[in-house]
Amino acid sequence: MATPQHAFFKGQIVPYSEAKVGVLTHALNYGTACFGGVRGYWNADEQELFVFRPHEHFKRFVQSAKLLDMQLPFEADDLVAKLGELLRLENYKEDCYIRPLAYYADEGIGVRLHGLTPEVSIVAMPFGRYIDKEEGVHVTISSWRRVDDNTIPPRGKIAGSYVNSAYAKTDAQRAGFDEAIVLNSAGHIAEGSAENFFLVRNGVVVTPPVTEGILEGITRRTVMQLLRDELGATVVERPIDRTELFLADEAFFTGTGVQIAAITKVDHRLVGTGRMGPLVSRLRSLYFDVVRGKVARYRTWCAPVYDTVAHARGGAVGVLA
């Protein structure tokens, strides 16, 4: 993956090569950082880069920081504005991925959350697919359990807890699967290594509630709204047993990286017909139109980066100004 040209680092935009930390950095040693993952979608017809739901992403980012007791020197809206500046400098005319990071920057020994100084960085880089087989993922139920709210809260994107995701992902891939499904400490389906989980059974869409050890996903929220308001589906949040996946008609992952990926096999058993089902297929095409700003009703979710008219006016709602 090519590295970016610039980074927002310690309050200003600098060449990426200057955005460096020392080996004693608290976050590097103890995992005391949190991050975000946001996508920018290029719309070739409009020659515009749309960032998908940046305010929601940065709001969750600030909340993840709050879970780590961090008083960030920026509000979510300030960071959205900085992102706009950074993206205009990078001048991307293709899909990209944006990574904000808040980390305890102190260099010294001593594990704790108090009396430390947070710093924020943002970088953006060109990005395509996160999972190659979005149309048909073969998952395994991981032997690793999801961290829970009383170990490291999974509702925020806390850097240290991604060791849990990394165990699950590596074991799944080494065993020949595309992705892992991780159970929570109660043995219910929580989520994928970096994706929220949904299944469809008897015409009802089911997903675990936010109290089941999952990240409070922005794509999850988006998809629940699209399913209900545009596709007329019933969506229920409730705990899900492992074997419900064996009996599901359809199943899918959602996430900024994975977007919407059909789960077509679990531990060598077919999910439904073993091919992407009709609801996931309709949802995917709607989602891809929505994120590129092609659906008027959801256009406010897509913040234009290069909208020069709006910038001349001093910024408008939904604009990355």
Give me the active site residues, please: 157
Which residues in 162-191 contact ligand PMP (CB under 6 A)? 165, 191
DSSP 305: S
Within 220-239, which residues bind ligand PMP (CB under 6 A)? Answer: 220
Closest Cα partner for 68 from 25, 34, 37? Answer: 34
Q: Helix, strand or coil for residue 103?
A: strand
Report in angstroms how near the CB of residue 216 gets to ligand PMP at its nearest. Answer: 7
Nearest by Cα to 246 from 312, 181, 149: 181
Radius of gyration of the chain (CA): 20
Q: State which residue, 98 or 105, has the beta carbon closest to ligand PMP.
A: 98
Q: Applying CB under 6 A, which part among 86-94, 103-111, 212-220, 287-295 lies near ligand PMP?
A: 212-220
Number of residues that bind ligand PMP (CB under 6 A): 15
Alpha carbon separation from 125 to 33, 95, 190, 251, 289 (Å, rounded): 20, 9, 29, 30, 22
When asked if residue 218 is in the footprint of ligand PMP (CB under 6 A), the reply is: yes
Q: Is 31 near ligand PMP (CB under 6 A)?
A: no
Q: How far apart, in Å, are the Cα atoms of 145 and each of 148, 157, 188, 258?
A: 9, 17, 10, 21
Question: Nearest distance from residue 4's CB to ligand PMP, in Å?
Answer: 19
- The piece of 105-113, 254-262, 278-286, 307-315 that touches ligand PMP (CB under 6 A) is 254-262
Give CA–CA dist 226/235, Å, rounded: 10
> Could you say which of 25, 64, 184, 256 contacts ligand PMP (CB under 6 A)?
256
Q: Residue 195, interface with ligand PMP (CB under 6 A)? A: yes
Among 86, 147, 194, 266, binds ligand PMP (CB under 6 A): 194
Distance from the Cα of residue 86 to its chain's centroid: 20
Closest to 52 (Cα-Cα) out of 208, 217, 215: 217
Q: Is 215 in the site for ligand PMP (CB under 6 A)?
A: yes
Nearer to ligand PMP, 215 or 319 (CB): 215
Residue ranges in contact with ligand PMP by CB under 6 A: 37, 157, 165, 191, 194-196, 215, 217-220, 254-256
